[in-house]
Amino acid sequence: MAIDWKAYNPEGLYDEIISSPGNPRVPAKSLVSYLRSLSDEQLQARRASADAVIKQMGITFTVYSEEGNIDRSWPFDIIPRVIALKQWQKTAAGLEQRLRALNLFIDDLYHDQKIVKDKVFPEYILQESKNFRPECVGISPPFGVWAHICGTDLVRDKDGRFYVLEDNLRVPSGVSYMLENRAITKRVLPDLFDTEKILPVNDYTSNLLEALTSLSPRKISRPSIVVLTPGIYNSAYFEHAFLAQQMGAELVEGSDLMVADDECVYMKTVDGLERVDVIYRRIDDLFIDPEVFNAESVLGVPGLMRAWKKGNVALANAPGAGVADDKVVYAFVPQIIKYYLDEDPLIPNVETYLCVNDKEREYVLANLDKLVVKPANESGGAGMLIGPHSTKKERTLFAELIRKNPRNYIGQPTLSLSTVPTLVDGNDLEPRHVDLRPFIIQAEKTSVTTGGLTRVAMKRGSLVVNSSQGGGSKDTWIVDTGAK
């Protein structure tokens, strides 16, 4: 037996695969039984096969460092995370509910601001938002949707319940790695896909294409859709190229596009100018149009905002959607759901302390050694303090930062993130903490991925799952056990 499952100990945490030493959870029984049947040599062969596939397919991500940009092979563990279909259906409904409410919230902020006037959402938080774009006031994108693609980060605490950790509404990334993880796993563990009811994930790109098509200002059967990338040095460039290829869309940079006198967007081709109907943009707001935002930007397209305001081109995600991609706004999402939908949240938030609130700020400052402190608008785990793993010097620095700009920080309890068995040195099996990023698409219709990108903190005891900071990933299986 290559793996000694009875020796595997998640140390009292909620484990996604094992309910107690040696005993798999119901959705994972076949997976554990199969892995038990593999010899050491067979298991090593599968790990080596996964590494070879990653290199062969060129699946990489870019790490920014002082030494320059470094391309690395995608870090991957062959033991998947398994979730029962019945539980996932409830989770997916909660994710759909959340994005519907957030899009109503964004649309309201750029129009009547009823939620502010009704004193459900504080005006001072909106006034100090870094991602509210006054240039977007009064614009009405198709279907009232601003955030068409959302990556919502979920965590499971020791109680076994999913919680929303944050919403990524600007330019969420990672979905290509979710799809590639499945492709790798199918080649490494093909037998299980023949016998298990593992729900597919490969409908994502067709759902994305359908959503983008529905946004086209020209109601034609095949509108021109492009993916706008900052270029090859961006950390998510692999994903930009992957999604363009899968959708049959053109991958373009800002210099490939132009806005003509008719205020329509055109792509420069060898056959001349071709009108563009929909732009899936992977560039931050401040760089998409040097006429309106950063005048020095060479990544965007001069005049793009004019064309969008005229309704001559659709942008996904829409500029300004990031106003809801704010960890202070996150704390109000339960009230936002209740206000717009008159429903209770199906997935709870993690308890959150707003440092802009005097009482809550004092609590955070007094408990920096116990809490996780996050800046309001950073991503990728940047600028974060994990209290139990921090030094006194780091806590002193964060106390100064919080006092200087309390609006920019929130505090949250340090959760006991769930674990998944992970192969480490040799064939040793150890628990590693994970989160989950499902992707939700909303346009004319709404869809949620069956599962998502499971990110793994590869270092023992670490809670940092971001690939840029040493994290890895696993395939995520939604398994139909037949339970009602």
- The string of pLDDT tens digits covering residues 373-385 is 999 877 656 788 9
Question: What tokens does 469 get?
Answer: 């900071």
Do 90 and 183 lie in a common domain? Answer: yes
Query: Average of pLDDT values for 346-350?
Result: 97
Helices within 202-326 (DSSP H only): 204-214, 237-247, 304-309
Query: Average of pLDDT values for 111-126?
Result: 97
Amino acid 467: pLDDT:
63
Assigned domain for 466 exists: yes
Assigned domain for 229 exists: no
Buried b (16+ CB within 10 A) or exposed e, 296-309: ebebbbbbbbbbbb
pLDDT above 70: residue 273: yes
User: Is the CB of residue 277 less than 8 Å from the CB of residue 311?
Assistant: no
Assigned domain for 257 exists: no
Calpha distance 61→452 (Å, rounded):
18
Do 446 and 407 lie in a common domain? Answer: no
Do 137 and 26 lie in a common domain? Answer: yes
Q: What is the largest CA-CA distance in the chain?
A: 70
The dihedral through the CA atoms of 272, 277, 281, 286 has a sign that is: positive
pLDDT above 90: residue 446: yes
Helices within 268-312 (DSSP H only): 304-309
pLDDT above 60: residue 68: no
Question: What tokens does 129 get?
Answer: 């938002």
pLDDT band at residue 40, thresholds of 50, 70 and 90? Answer: confident
Do 319 and 375 lie in a common domain? Answer: no
Assigned domain for 272 exists: no
Amino acid 64: pLDDT:
47
Report cis status (omega within 30 of 0) of the bond before 367: no
pLDDT in tens, 230-266: 999 888 899 999 999 999 999 999 999 999 999 999 9
Helices within 14-84 (DSSP H only): 29-37, 40-57
Do 71 and 102 lie in a common domain? Answer: yes
The amino acid sitting at 451 is G
Amino acid 483: pLDDT:
61
pLDDT above 80: residue 67: no
Residue 46: phi, psi to the nearest 5?
Answer: -70, -40
Assigned domain for 168 exists: yes
Q: How far is CA 180 from CA 185, 327, 474, in A?
A: 9, 29, 10
Residue 260 CB partners (closer than 8 Å, separation 6+): 266, 273
Please identify, among 413, 448, 464, the residue that sits at the C-terminal boundary of a domain: 413
Do 360 and 328 lie in a common domain? Answer: no
Assigned domain for 280 exists: no
Helix (H) or strand (E) holding 103: helix 85-109
C-alpha gyration radius of the chain: 23
CA end-to-end span of the chain: 34
Amino acid 195: pLDDT:
87
Query: Average of pLDDT values for 434-441?
Result: 97
User: Is the CB of residue 178 less than 8 Å from the CB of residue 439?
Assistant: yes
Do 339 and 360 lie in a common domain? Answer: no
Do 112 and 62 lie in a common domain? Answer: yes
User: Is the CB of residue 354 less than 8 Å from the CB of residue 184?
Assistant: no
Helix (H) or strand (E) holding 403: helix 392-404
Number of domains in the chain: 2
Query: Average of pLDDT values for 112-130?
Result: 96
**C-beta neighbour count of 143 within 10 angstroms:** 16
Do 326 and 397 lie in a common domain? Answer: no
Amino acid 71: pLDDT:
61
* Half-sphere exposure of residue 194: CA atoms within 13 angstroms, side-chain side: 6
pLDDT above 60: residue 217: yes
Assigned domain for 228 exists: no
Percent of the chain with pLDDT over 70: 94
pLDDT above 60: residue 409: yes
Do 35 and 110 lie in a common domain? Answer: yes
Calpha distance 32→7 (Å, rounded):
14
pLDDT above 70: residue 51: yes
Residue numbers of the domain that contains 188? 1-217+313-348+432-484
Percent of the chain with pLDDT over 90: 77
Do 126 and 30 lie in a common domain? Answer: yes
Do 140 and 193 lie in a common domain? Answer: yes
Query: Average of pLDDT values for 196-203?
Result: 94
Average pLDDT, the chain: 92
Looking at residue 349, the DSSP 8-state letter turns out to be B
Q: What is the pTM of this model?
A: 0.93
CATH code assigned at 396: 3.30.1490.270
pLDDT above 50: residue 1: no
Assigned domain for 274 exists: no
